[in-house]
Amino acid sequence: MAKVTFSLDHGTVRRLQEAAERLSLPKSEVVREAICEFHERIGRLSESERLHLLKMLDEMLPAIPARPVRQVDLELKAIRRARHAGGRRTATRTRS
C-alpha cells in the first residue's frame, strides 16, 4: 500500500469520521471504498442527465417522419450509390 496525504475541508472530514464510525471501518477503508464506487460511476449518466435525455427523446420521437420501409430502403440505396460514385463531385472533375 502507498501512503498519501490529502487536504480535506472540515465538512468532508466530519462525514468521513461519521461514516467510519457507523460502518465500524477504518477511515482509510471508507476512502478506498468511496473511490472504488466513484470510479465505477465514471462515464455513467447521473439521474438528472438520464431524465433530461429521456425527455429530449420523448420530444424528438414524434418529429421523426413515418415513412414506408421501401421508401427508406430506396433512399439508402441512392445514398450508397452516390458515395460509391464519388459523392458530390461533378462529372467534369477528375481524380488524380
pLDDT tens-digit map of 14-72: 999 999 999 999 999 999 999 999 999 898 998 999 999 999 999 999 888 888 989 99
Query: For the chain, how are helix, strand and coil distributed in percent, rounded to 5?
Result: 65, 0, 35
Burial readout 16-49 (b: 16 or more C-beta within 10 A, e: otherwise)? beebbeeeeeeeeebbeeeeeeeeeeeeeeeeee
Q: What pTM does this model have?
A: 0.51
